Amino acid sequence: MDGEELTEQETALYDRQIRVWGADAQRRLSKSHILVCGLKGTVAEFCKNIVLAGVGSVTLVDDRVVTDESLPANFLILPHENHYNGKTLAEVCCDSLKEFNPMVHVAVERGDISTFGVEFFEKFDAAIISCCSLGKKKLINQKCRKLSKRVAFYTVECRGSCGEMFVDLQDYKYSKKKLEETIECQIEYPSFEEAILVPWRALPRRMSKLYFAMRVIEQFEDVEGRNPGETSIADRLGVLKLRKELCETNSLDESQIPDALLERLLTDTREFPPVCAIIGGILGQEVIKAISGKGDPLKNFFFFDAMDGKGLIEDISGPSTRS
Amino acid sequence: MVGAGGIGCELLKTLALSGFQDIHIVARDAVLRFRPNISITPYHANVKESRFNVDFYKEFDVVLNGLDNLDARRHVNRLCLAADVPLVESGTTGFLGQVTVHLKGKTECYECQPKPAPKTYPVCTITSTPSKDLLFAKLFGDKNLENDLNVRSSDATNLSEHSEDVFECRKGEDIEQYGRRIYDHVFGHNIEVALSNEETWKNRNKPWPIYSKDVFPDKLTKENGKTEKGSTTEDVSAMASLGLKNPQDVWSLAENSRVFYESLRLFFSKRQKEIGNLTFDKDDQLAVEFVTAAANIRASSFGIPLHSLFEAKGIAGNIVHAVATTNAIIAGLIVIEAIKVLKKDSNNYRMTYCLEHPSKKLLLMPVEPYEPNKSCYVCSETPLSLEVNTHHSKLRDFVEKIVKAKLGMNFPVIMSGASIIYEVGEDLEEDMVAIYAANLEKALSELPSPVISGTVLTVEDLQQEFSCRINIKHREEFDEEKEPDGMLLSGRVEAPVDKNSNKPIGNGESTSSALSTEEIQEGERDVEIQETSESAENVTGRKRKLSEVSKGSIPDHSGLPDESSKNQNQLEKLDVDDEDDELIISNDWESLTKKKRL
């Protein structure tokens, strides 16, 4: 591994985790730059995790002004700071994150991320996008893919007891130890757009129902021009109609997307803190894996539902990138 | 909440965010308040203190553990049983973790399944296989403390030379002579002695003796001629004076031998005053250097891979492998179970494993809790039985090796029939203390109320509100190697001991008192969890009783990953999805339980 040795201070601070992933991985982490957009509870958990892990820098993008509604699941916002003086979510979270680990550089970038040019993303090793419209997610994913260097791309959303995470590592090579030898592995990832375009009938029979349900809700919000989470039970009929259409085009039985699940996703749009901790934790681990090149990264969706307690990985790719 | 370490801190945050309004924390670490609208009551204390009694536990709706050691876990388990309060238990190591729910009478208790006992070594193992800091204690520690290192050699033929304390520096001996003598004795002579017992080596690779003259034919002292920097004890380092920089490097035998001499020399020249009072401390650089070198020279003898100082420090110091992400995930899972407990939704309790490599696409794997083990000596009233030589074994042996080490009691009362033969407590009469002290030194059969074959002892820990009966059976002979305690407790499920792999993992740190280098030798084994096909006869029912599934095998859902052994690894998993009933049984739970090698 090229690059400088870890400092004594770093070795001491990260001792426990170096024992898990090794000094090489720690060196790579400390030189990595992470872009984070959309600061709700799940992303706050994620930020804490990678700041504790000791990444080089974290750049926060979220110009929404802090309100009482930002508070419940986001532990980076302290309630006694009643008067935020119009501070943005990114600014308040930035201040809190700095206290978690002074060795990590945490900064705020102002502006609408969808207007940032391709070169902006080149500074980063990973981009994590949350609370964004479907269109923005696709756009940022495309920008990351245009670069010659790989910028790992992640989206993450939690609604009520459910959480979803998507990963695009493009063309990802890593090595892992199998028995005594080290084997080189290569995985090809589809983009977010490519993944969600994979015809449903082409997917494995026992695909997580959450995948389909999330796509229905996502499309509904997109068509209606709403921000993620701006739904209620009043949208039930509209959503059921969309489900019918999507199921017909995709030759999927409507029972694969149960009414009850859709209703939960529509009505309980607030984040549930234990789910934030879980999804934020898994996301943290995946970003650490991608940066350190250590360990099998997950491909390419992860679902968790507190109702059944399962944390499921699904590979949703077209035939060309199916592993 | 009990414990405010890695899991505890994450847990407190998630509890507070999730709307828990009244949280009490017993922990030795300090606790931070970040949501002022919630009542958080910290008890900055050890959970084993007597004020945390059964009445204390009864005040709570649910107890959540974020502990790091077996002892405290057992203690809390017993009190939760006594108070009939549900317990959510957790543990993590590296990327692995697990959460379990324990509700008296409904699910198994924490102790229903085997937990590897704190590791003890038979004397012969200590002298013939590598050991950690025994040598350190022998050289720098309290000479009066018992130490097994030299036992075997004093039995040897060369009695006159070796029955004296060879570890004492002799008059007129310079530090190099002394160092060489220790070196030759430990790595040469002791190995030769061990080799002379041919029985031992029938089924294992023979070690070879290493003598200092082979490694260093020339005189060592002052060969580098450098003056040592640093005058305070913390600065003294053999690595520094030898110019070894990277603690991650694995040293050669020659380098290890150099470090051995140099650290010994530095102890005697720079830290003379401490000699005789030192105990191994993972934060003492020179101590870690010495132990690393000694363990590596030993390992060379046995053809075991050597380790870097960084790795050796982790092993010798029993450093927990921990990452924030796993702790956060586990804390989230604890809260989900805690909410079910408060809703009394006991049909939906799950124990959940956080895996490193997905099994059946599952990275978080929920499993239905097991039913209580009917022969559990903790949550059922099944008596234990003890085979012991009642003429030879003293009450002290019984107290130390069984009551404390195996049964995990802190304040035991031992009764034979109606008479108390031993008791530990804070407010005992002086004369009773004297009687009990005298009893400790008596053989069991010679106690005022003799303990002989057929005696039923009742052992109670009033603090834990826990009591069990032990049927005593006299037995004359014990196998020194297989039954080093000289007694055999049965009726209590114990983890099978495999000499290569029963290392306690991660947060069970305190369960291991000594760790041999041999234990870390096994290679990286890549293991996949195999699934059985959906066998028709097994997929009929919806939620099968787990007892049916696990018949004939030892379910290993117990200690993972905090203190699990790797051998009895079976995994039963029930998928309770309405339509996709499936069953996975794996014989290889290893990938979950193995400690990550660096």
SS3 of chain A: CCCCCCCHHHHHHCHHHHHHHHHHHHHHHHCCEEEEECCCHHHHHHHHHHHHHCCCEEEEECCCECCHHHCCCCCCCCCCCCCCCCCEHHHHHHHHHHHHCCCCEEEECCCCHHHCCHHHHCCCCEEEEECCCHHHHHHHHHHHHHCCCCCEEEEEEEEECEEEEEEECCEEEEEEEECCEEEEEEEECCCHHHHHHCCHHHCCCCCCHHHHHHHHHHHHHHHHCCCCCCCCHHHHHHHHHHHHHHHHHCCCCHHHCCHHHHHHHHHCCCECHHHHHHHHHHHHHHHHHHHHCCCCCCCCEEEEECCCCEEEEECCCCCCCCC
Which tokens belong to B535?
């066998």
**SS3 state of residue B97:** strand
Stretch(es) of chain B classified as CATH 1.10.10: 131-303
**Residue spans per domain, chain A:** 8-193+271-314, 199-267
- Judged by CB atoms closer than 8 Å, whether chains meet at A273 and B320 is answered as no
Which tokens belong to B61?
């709706």
pLDDT at B318: 66
- Judged by CB atoms closer than 8 Å, whether chains meet at B329 and A278 is answered as yes
Task: Report whether pLDDT(A226) > 70.
Answer: yes
- Judged by CB atoms closer than 8 Å, whether chains meet at A273 and B18 is answered as yes
Which tokens belong to A75?
């532990």
Partner residue facing A274 (CB), from B94, B332, B365: B332
Query: Within chain B, which residues score under 70 in pLDDT?
Result: 29-36, 115-134, 137-139, 141-166, 220-235, 317-321, 492-598
Q: For A8-193+271-314, which CATH class?
A: alpha beta
CA R_g for chain B: 26
Q: List, by residue number, the catalytic residues of B.
A: 124
Average pLDDT over residues A147-155: 95
Stretch(es) of chain B classified as CATH 3.10.290.20: 384-490
Q: What is the dihedral of CA B191, B193, B196, B199, to 10 degrees?
A: -80
* Residue numbers in A near B352 (CB within 8 A): 309
Strand-pair category, B39-44 with B22-27: parallel
* Residue numbers in A near B335 (CB within 8 A): 273-274, 277
Strand-pair category, A171-178 with A181-188: antiparallel
Domain B131-303, CATH = 1.10.10
Which residue in B35, B92, B329, B529 has the most chain A C-beta atoms within 10 A of its own C-beta, making it the best mutation to test that interface?
B329
pLDDT at A323: 58
Cβ atoms of A303 and A210 within 8 Å: the answer is: yes
Binding residue per annotation — B68?
yes
Which tokens belong to B14?
């998630």
pLDDT at A204: 85
A189 contacts: CB under 8 Å, gap ≥ 6: A167, A168, A169, A170, A171, A172, A299, A300, A317, A321
Q: Rounded to whole angstroms, how far apart are CA atoms B185 and B102?
A: 52
Which residue in B13, B323, B597 has the most chain A C-beta atoms within 10 A of its own C-beta, making it the best mutation to test that interface?
B323
CATH level 3 topology of B6-116+322-367? Rossmann fold (3.40.50)
Q: Is A307 exposed, middle or buried (0-12, 13-18, 19+ CB in 10 A)?
A: middle
B533 contacts: CB under 8 Å, gap ≥ 6: none
* Residue numbers in B near A314 (CB within 8 A): 361
Which tokens belong to B125?
């193992």
Among B114, B302, B282, smallest CA distance to B201 is for B302
* Residue numbers in B near A304 (CB within 8 A): 364
Quick check: A13 contacting B, CB < 8 Å? no
Cβ atoms of B414 and B457 within 8 Å: the answer is: yes
* Residue numbers in A near B525 (CB within 8 A): 179
Which tokens belong to A186?
């290569």
User: Please, how many CA atoms are within 13 Å of residue A173, restricted to the half-sphere of its CB?
Assistant: 3
Q: How far is CA B270 from CA B146, B234, B593, in A?
A: 26, 10, 42
DSSP string computed for B463-528:
TTTEEEEEEEEE-S---TTT-TTSEEEESS--PPP-TTT----GGGGGG-S---GGGG-SPP----
Q: Rounded to whole angstroms, how far apart are CA atoms A278 and A280?
A: 5
Partner residue facing B320 (CB), from A16, A277, A313: A16
Which tokens belong to B17?
């965010």
Confidence band (pLDDT; 50, 70, 90) for A124? very high
Binding residue per annotation — B70?
yes
Q: For B384-490, which CATH class?
A: alpha beta
Q: Rounded to whole angstroms, how far apart are CA atoms B14 and B442?
A: 53
A88 vs chain B: nearest CA distance in angstroms?
Answer: 20
Q: Rounded to whole angstroms, how far apart are CA atoms A135 and B373?
A: 55
H-state helical runs in B302-399 = 309-316, 324-342, 395-397
A125 vs chain B: nearest CA distance in angstroms?
Answer: 19
Q: Which residue did the predictor score with more confidence, A48 or B149?
A: A48
What does the DSSP 8-state code read for residue B322? B
Partner residue facing A73 (CB), from B17, B34, B94: B17
Q: Where are the beta strands (DSSP E) in B260-373?
A: 351-359, 362-367
Quick check: A12 contacting B, CB < 8 Å? no
* Residue numbers in B near A45 (CB within 8 A): 328
Q: How far is CA B216 from CA A93, B33, B212, B223, B318, in A?
A: 60, 59, 6, 12, 32
3-state SS track over B157-179: CCHHHHCCCCCCCCCCCCHHHHH
Quick check: A285 contacting B, CB < 8 Å? yes
CB pairs under 8 A between A and B: 141
B274 contacts: CB under 8 Å, gap ≥ 6: B140, B233, B267
Tell me the CA end-to-end span of chain A in Å, nearest whole number: 29
- Judged by CB atoms closer than 8 Å, whether chains meet at A45 and B328 is answered as yes
pLDDT at B553: 33
Which tokens belong to B84?
């009939």
Which tokens belong to B190?
């002791």
∠ at Cα A302 (A296, A303), nearest 5°? 150
Quick check: A14 contacting B, CB < 8 Å? no
pLDDT at B339: 97
Total residue count of chain B as it appears in this document: 598
A102 contacts: CB under 8 Å, gap ≥ 6: none
A49 vs chain B: nearest CA distance in angstroms?
Answer: 6
Cβ atoms of B278 and B338 within 8 Å: the answer is: no
CA R_g for chain A: 20
- Judged by CB atoms closer than 8 Å, whether chains meet at A313 and B332 is answered as no
